[in-house]
């Protein structure tokens, strides 16, 4: 990198917009969406989709709810031409869906594209030519007048040759893109758009689509919004124009640029699922749509089963979605931080069907897009007690007493530290069972029975303590108290019961009970124990032995 001062690069010039309105506006409705997955997205793939894969992807886009889909560049190759023909001839295009094709402003390409579109009901014919100063200088060696002439000639040819398609019953609409719009002088971008519109002569019922692409993202999103607002306020036939966006993601701000440009007056948005496209990609339509949804705006696109959409996308494009990708990534509904886990766990019970979603750290209900709550909390060495308790409850049904959370949290975190890796829910369950349920040394309970019940309870237990078999007897105000007295009479260290809770695991006649016991030793140390049995009384006794063994292991 160049040392300061950095002279190799220049700041992008601001837009002279003195009365900008977009900063004070709020988004209230979804734009017109257009998927360019099958053209712009497909051309960026190391291995482009086969025709069969494109057909499957087209069906997916239709199912999601796209009404405008760019299907290819039929004048560029026979494969693209044939794909367009299959869509039409096999009646794969719903009557309310428009297919869009891309074409350069050359007569032979326009006529070839029109051949591919014969029989289609609704068509958007997308013409483009590059307009920026460097494109004019480096690529075309052409003047502004030359560039305007290319665009005007292309639209005139489409109007001439497209009439046969219209006469045959096709609704033909024009989309024009001054490619590299955001790098073009605004006055010249306006000039060429006005010239194209003059030739096309749009009406209120058949508006022209002026697509203003950020072919390469050079500026901050606010500058992009200023450019769009400037165009919207200077177009002479704004009421007969659909202003369309096509952002890329070179600066990592394609979504922000699109959202601000929508505030600036844009009507339509082009992009791809999950942002597939050249270099750093196109605009991610999934993110923009679900961002609207999380603000209470119907996006008019259905991502209710995002896992299934992701599966088709990854299989057809051979691209992998990043684990941190918004909404669709494997880890986006996952919390590793202990404080985050605790906040999620505490806010979940407050969610009611008649109240807005308001779970801390999770801006969208995962169930709305077909995701599961089970992956919300995962455990590593940075996790806290709340996350461990959440996993044990939601995956295995254990409702641990709140005071027990800290204890089990430390045990699990110690294991995560030693492994240096994330723990699976099964790992956490295994730790819990090993630490609490299977504690059988130095005291093993072989048999327990109550031998008398009146105002007090007398019990008898067969134990193996420090390798010696013992039969102990005790009396108390209940089975647990009687067992504690029996242990004390057997010479085991004294302790007192601090708390007790229990619940069922599962339902039905074969349901087991789990008990949690907290004890305090003579030194003031506190230990929890847990026990499971189909008999609730025996589950409690096992929990006492568990707590005692844990205390003795620390002695």
CATH classification at residue 459: 3.30.160.270
Q: Pairing mode, if any, of strands 526-533 and 268-271? A: unpaired
Instruction: Return the bridge partners of 125, or none.
Output: 101, 174
Per residue in 213-237, pLDDT (tens digit) is 999 999 999 999 999 999 999 999 9
Structure tokens at 203: 């009406």
At which residue do the structure tokens 């100063």 appear?
Answer: 133
Q: Give CA–CA dist 221/416, Å, rounded.
A: 42
Are 61 and 210 in a shared domain?
yes
Residues 155 and 266 in one domain: yes
Q: Which domain holds residue 492?
A: 439-554
Q: Are residues 277 and 410 in the same domain?
A: no
Bridge partner residues of 533 (DSSP): 513
What are 141-148's contacts with CB under 8 Å, separation 24+?
A: 144/188, 144/191, 147/192, 148/191, 148/192, 148/195
Rounded distance, CA 474 to CA 463, Å? 13
Domain boundary, last residue among 436, 457, 491: 436
The CA distance from 132 to 139, in Å, is 10
* Residue 166 and residue 242 share a domain: yes
Site of tokens 């990592």: 252
Query: Which carries the bigger pLDDT value, residue 300 or residue 423?
Result: 300
* Same domain, residue pair 205 and 295: yes
Q: What is the pLDDT of residue 374?
A: 52
Using one digit for the tens of pLDDT, what is the confidence trace for 319-339?
999 989 999 998 888 887 778
Based on the fold, state whether residues 444 and 423 are members of the same structural domain: no
Q: Which of 66-75, 95-104, 424-433 has the lowest mean pLDDT?
A: 424-433
417 with 479, same domain?
Answer: no
| Whether residue 152 is found in the same domain as residue 174 | yes
* CATH number of the domain residue 240 falls in: 3.20.20.70
Is the link from the previous residue into 289 a cis peptide, with omega within 30 of 0?
no
Can you give the pLDDT at residue 430?
Answer: 95
Q: Report the relative pairing of strands 443-453 and 457-465 from DSSP bridges.
A: antiparallel
C-alpha torsion angle, residues 540, 542, 548, 549 (rounded to 10): -160
Tell me what pLDDT residue 386 has: 76
Give percent above pLDDT 90 in the chain. Answer: 82
Residue 203 within a domain: yes
For residue 84, being part of any structural domain is answered with yes
Give 15's Cβ-side CA count (13 Å radius).
Answer: 22
Element (H or E) spanning 426, and its range? helix 425-432
Residues 518 and 526: beta-carbon distance below 8 Å: yes
What percentage of the chain carries pLDDT values higher than 70?
Answer: 97
User: Which pLDDT tens digit goes with each residue over 460-499?
Assistant: 999 999 999 999 999 999 999 999 999 998 889 999 999 9
- Lowest-pLDDT choice from 133-147, 295-309, 366-380, 526-540: 366-380
3-state secondary structure of 168: coil
Separation between Cα atoms, residue 386 and residue 406, nearest integer Å: 8
| Model pLDDT for residues 355-387, shown as the tens digit of each residue | 999 999 999 999 999 986 554 556 666 666 777
Domains of the chain: total? 3
Instruction: List the beta bridge partners of residue 423.
Output: 379
Q: Is the same domain home to 531 and 505?
A: yes
Q: Is residue 12 part of a domain?
A: no
- Residue 140 and residue 225 in one domain: yes
Task: For the chain, give the number of residues.
Answer: 555
C-alpha to C-alpha distance for 295 and 29, rounded to whole angstroms:
10
DSSP three-state, residue 499: strand
- Claim to verify: residue 136 and residue 268 sit in the same structural domain: yes
* Structure tokens belonging to residue 157: 């040819």
Span 141-169, average pLDDT: 97
Domain shared by 65 and 193, yes or no: yes
pLDDT at residue 343, as a whole number: 87
Q: Establish if 327 belongs to a structural domain.
A: no
């Amino acid at each position: 990198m160049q040392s300061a001062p950095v002279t190799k690069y220049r700041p992008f010039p601001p837009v002279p917009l003195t009365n900008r309105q977009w900063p004070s506006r709020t988004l209230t409705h979804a734009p017109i969406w257009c998927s360019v997955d099958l053209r712009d997205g497909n051309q960026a793939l190391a291995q482009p989709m086969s025709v069969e894969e494109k057909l499957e992807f087209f069906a997916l886009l239709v199912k999601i709810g796209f009404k405008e889909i760019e299907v290819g560049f039929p004048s560029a190759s026979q494969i693209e031409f044939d794909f367009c023909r299959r869509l039409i001839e096999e009646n794969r295009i719903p009557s309310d869906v428009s297919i869009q094709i891309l074409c350069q402003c050359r007569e032979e390409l326009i006529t070839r594209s029109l051949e591919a579109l014969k029989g289609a009901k609704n068509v958007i014919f997308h013409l483009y030519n590059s307009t920026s100063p460097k494109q004019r200088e480096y690529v075309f060696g052409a003047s502004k007048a030359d560039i305007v002439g290319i665009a005007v000639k292309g639209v005139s040819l489409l109007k001439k040759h497209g009439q046969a398609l219209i006469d045959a019953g096709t609704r033909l609409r024009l989309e024009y893109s001054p490619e590299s719009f955001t790098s073009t002088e605004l006055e010249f971008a306006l000039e060429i758009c006005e010239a194209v519109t003059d030739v096309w002569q749009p009406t209120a019922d058949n508006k022209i689509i002026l697509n203003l692409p950020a072919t390469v993202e050079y500026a901050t999103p606010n500058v992009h919004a200023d450019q769009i607002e400037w165009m919207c306020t200077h177009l002479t036939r704004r009421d007969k124009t659909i202003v369309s966006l096509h952002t890329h993601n070179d600066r990592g701000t394609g979504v922000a640029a699109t959202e601000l440009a929508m505030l600036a007056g844009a009507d339509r948005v082009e992009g791809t699922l999950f942002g597939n496209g050249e270099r750093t990609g196109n605009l991610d339509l999934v993110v923009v749509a679900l961002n609207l949804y999380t603000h209470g705006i119907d996006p008019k696109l259905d991502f209710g089963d995002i896992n299934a959409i992701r599966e088709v996308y990854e299989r057809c494009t051979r691209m992998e979605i990043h684990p941190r990708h918004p909404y669709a990534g494997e880890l986006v509904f996952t919390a590793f931080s202990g404080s985050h886990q605790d906040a999620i766990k505490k806010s979940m019970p407050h969610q009611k069907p008649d109240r807005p979603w308001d779970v801390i750290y999770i801006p969208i209900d995962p169930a709305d897009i077909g995701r599961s709550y089970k992956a919300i909390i995962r455990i590593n060495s940075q996790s806290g007690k709340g996350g461990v308790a959440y996993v044990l409850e939601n995956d295995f049904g254990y409702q641990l007493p709140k005071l027990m959370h800290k204890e089990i949290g430390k045990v699990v975190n110690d294991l995560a530290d030693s492994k240096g890796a994330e723990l699976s829910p099964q790992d956490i369950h295994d730790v819990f069972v090993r630490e609490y349920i299977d504690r059988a040394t130095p005291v093993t309970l072989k048999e327990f029975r109550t031998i008398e019940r009146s105002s007090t309870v007398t019990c008898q237990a067969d134990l193996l303590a420090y390798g010696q078999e013992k039969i102990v007897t005790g009396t108390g105000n209940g089975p647990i108290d009687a067992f504690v007295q029996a242990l004390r009479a057997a010479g085991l260290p004294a302790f007192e019961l601090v708390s007790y809770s229990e619940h069922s695991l599962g339902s039905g006649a074969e349901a087991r009970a789990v008990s949690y016991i907290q004890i305090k030793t003579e030194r003031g140390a506190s230990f929890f124990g847990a026990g499971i049995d189909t008999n609730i009384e025996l589950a409690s006794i096992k929990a006492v032995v568990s707590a005692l063994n844990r205390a003795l292991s620390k002695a």
